[in-house]
Every structure is written in structure tokens, then in C-alpha cells.
Amino acid sequence: MTRPQSAEARRVRAAELFDQGRSGAEIARMPGISEESVRRWKRVWEGGSTDALRRRPATGRPPKLDDAQVEQVRTALEQGAQAHGFEADLCTLERVGLVVERVTGVVLSKASVWRLLTGRLGWRLQRPERRAVERDESEIARWIAHEWPRIKKGR
């Protein structure tokens, strides 16, 4: 359940409890509900009904990409950067913007690409680990087990 859906569920549950005659203080003791919210919800509920506490459709400019286009972008990005002609398999906002443009024909700003990745796709920032290719884990473990105690003891 998304955050707006869970918030709506709490408001609707509070309205059901108002119908049952429960007090605002009693409802506010429920986890995640403040007394001020309960007072505000009760005013709205008294002025309308339970429907007045439900979510309303988002206002403002509609997104540039519809849900089908977002899924096309997700599929394309899951193939990796090299599948789209980039030398390294590293995705940057610029590269993702180019992939979005190639797949959908829609040009997005860096900020819009970021919102697409973190909001609509639910992805998070990841940075590659910087480790030497020559790293030898068994040698490191041996050094920590044998050499480090000897060096530390010599202090």
C-alpha cells in the first residue's frame, strides 16, 4: 500500500470510528495519528461525509510519460547502458535521458529524469564500489589474521 493510500485508509477508519461515537482523543491514540489531524478530519467529516476524507485526483500538469511509456523505459533501462550503445555499463541522468528520448520520443530535463527514476520507477541512487581489480580477499584475510596482530603487539 502506498503512502497516500495508507493515509486515506487512516482517515476512512477515523470516520468509521466517528460514526461509532468514539472520541477524538481515543482515535488519536492510534499509531500514526495526531490529535490535530483527528480534529481536522472530524471538521471535514461533519461538513461532508466519509467521501470528503478520500483522496482526490492529483491536480496540475499531467506527466509527460504515460504508464505504458514508463514501462517501456523500465524495460530498456533494465537491459543496461551497454545495450544502448554506451561504452561502460553505468547509467547517468544524461544517459537515461537519451534512452528515454530514443524509446519514447519525449525529451526530459535532468530533474524530470531524476523524478522518473526515483518516483515512478522507484529506483534509488547507487554508486559503484571502488575496489582494485587485483584485490585478493584470501591474502587480506591472512594479513589481518597473522600480520596485523604482530604489528599491533610490537607497539
* H or E element in which residue 11 lies: helix 3-19
Q: Are residues 49 and 71 both part of a single domain?
A: no
d(CA 2, CA 148): 50
Structural domain including 112 reads 67-120
Q: Which residues contact 65 (CB under 8 A, 6 or more apart)?
A: 73, 100, 104, 106, 116, 120
Provide the percentage of residues in the chain whose pLDDT is more than 70.
98
pTM of the complete model: 0.52
In this structure, the answer to whether residues 71 and 116 fall within a common structural domain is yes
pLDDT at 133 over 90: no
Pair (48, 73) in one structural domain: no
Q: Is residue 31 domain-resident?
A: yes
Res. 76: pLDDT tops 90:
yes
What pLDDT shows up at residue 2? 65
Instruction: Please indicate whether residue 113 or residue 50 has the higher confidence score (pLDDT).
Output: 113
71 & 49 share domain:
no
| Residue bearing the bigger pLDDT, 8 or 78 | 78
- Is the residue at 97 inside a domain? yes
* Whether residues 33 and 74 fall in one domain: no
* Number of domains composing the chain: 2
The answer as to whether 86 is a domain residue is yes
Given a cut of 80, whether residue 1 has pLDDT beyond it is no
Q: What is the mean pLDDT of residues 139-151?
A: 91
Residues 14 and 49 in one domain: yes
User: CA separation (Å) from 130 to 43, 127, 133, 135?
Assistant: 56, 9, 9, 11
The verdict on 48 and 83 lying in the same domain is no
Measured distance CA(136)–CA(132) in Å, rounded? 9
Is residue 155 very low, low, confident or very high in pLDDT (cuts 50, 70, 90)? low
Where does the pLDDT of residue 102 fall: very low under 50, low under 70, confident under 90, or very high at 90 and above?
Answer: very high
Query: Do 87 and 116 fall into the same domain?
Result: yes
Mean pLDDT of 77-102: 91
pLDDT digits (tens, 9 = 90+) for 10-21: 888 888 888 888
In a domain, 114, yes or no: yes
Residue 140 lies in a domain: no
Is 113 or 126 the better-scoring residue by pLDDT? 113
How many Cα atoms within 13 Å fall on the side-chain side of residue 59?
1
Mean pLDDT of the chain: 87
152 Cβ partners below 8 Å, 6+ apart?
A: none
In a domain, 139, yes or no: no
pLDDT over 90 at 68, yes or no: yes
* % pLDDT > 90, the chain: 36
Burial 56-67 (b: 16+ CB within 10 A, else e): eeeeeeebebee
